[in-house]
Chain A
Amino acid sequence: MIEIAQYVAAALLVLGGIFGLTGSYGLLRLKDPMQRLHAPTKASTVGVGAALIASAISHFLANGHLTWQELLVTIFLFVTAPLSALFLAKTHIFLTINRAELPDPDTGTPWATLDERPPVEQMVLARDHQDI
């Protein structure tokens, strides 16, 4: 049992290292900015996730009890990686594409990013009115 766990942890470490290296190499190698977005946000995240799970297994082998901290970091990384990818893609679109050529979002309102910021005075007035 301990032998198998050791082999699983070693395989996860090797796999994680290869995936992490692939993600960073892809960031350097791919041509289009949108293509470059794929490599680190997917491959590197899988690599770090594998390394974290291997770390959990190796701590289990060393101390005999399971800890959940590694799983917490893994879940956090897997939740936040798509969010940062979305934000980066949106930033790239708005920095490169002509804003007049953007398609209609079909919501009746303009793009949220291009929406006018509400004036502070009006927000304060609305808040005071609610209090009364």
Chain B
Amino acid sequence: MILAYALYFALACFGLALVLNLIRLFTAPTLTDRILTVDTMAVNVIALIVLYGVWNGSQISFEAAMLLALTGFVATVAYCKYLLRGSIIE
């Protein structure tokens, strides 16, 4: 019972965090902030997927979380590499 309430609290927290990220995405002052916001959004979505897996009692959502973790990291590094060097794979 206490686990269900804690789960709802965590879901609400990460949902609100995603809304704050969305506000930051549209009001970001620099380009680096925008990339950082996209990275944070990927992390928050991973948390939401994992919490959905707890709520649902299924194991399948972890593959989705793992894939999102991989692609989120690669996306951040690719954006930064492009801004630094002008090409991603040299």
Chain A contact residues, CB within 8 Å of chain B? 6-7, 9-11, 13-14, 16-18, 20-21, 23-25, 27-28, 33, 36-37, 40-41, 44-45, 47-48, 51-52, 54-55, 58-59, 62, 67, 69-70, 72-73, 76-77, 80-81, 83-84, 87-88, 90-92, 94-96, 113, 117
Q: Tell me the smallest distance from the CB of A46 to a CB of chain B, in Å.
A: 11
Complex: A88 Cα to B37 Cα, angstroms: 11
- A-side contacts of B5, CB under 8 Å: 10
Once bound together, how far apart are the Cα atoms of A55 and B11, in whole Å?
Answer: 13
B40 in contact with A44 (CB, 8 Å): yes
Give B contacts to A, CB under 8 Å: 2-3, 5-7, 9-14, 16-18, 20-21, 23-24, 29-33, 35-37, 39-40, 43-44, 46-47, 50-51, 53-54, 57, 59, 62-63, 65-66, 69-70, 73, 76-77, 80-81, 83-85, 87, 90
B7 touches A13 (CB 8 A): yes
Given known A-B contacts A25-B20, A36-B33, A73 and B65 have beta carbons under 8 A apart: yes
Interface SS majority for chain A: helix
**B76 and A88 form a contact (CB under 8 A):** yes
Interface contact B9-A14, CB-CB below 8 Å:
yes
Total CB contacts across the A-B interface at under 8 A:
172
Ranked nearest first, the 10 interchain pairs of A and B with the lowest CB-CB distance are A17-B13, A24-B17, A10-B6, A17-B10, A40-B40, A87-B80, A13-B6, A80-B73, A69-B62, A13-B10
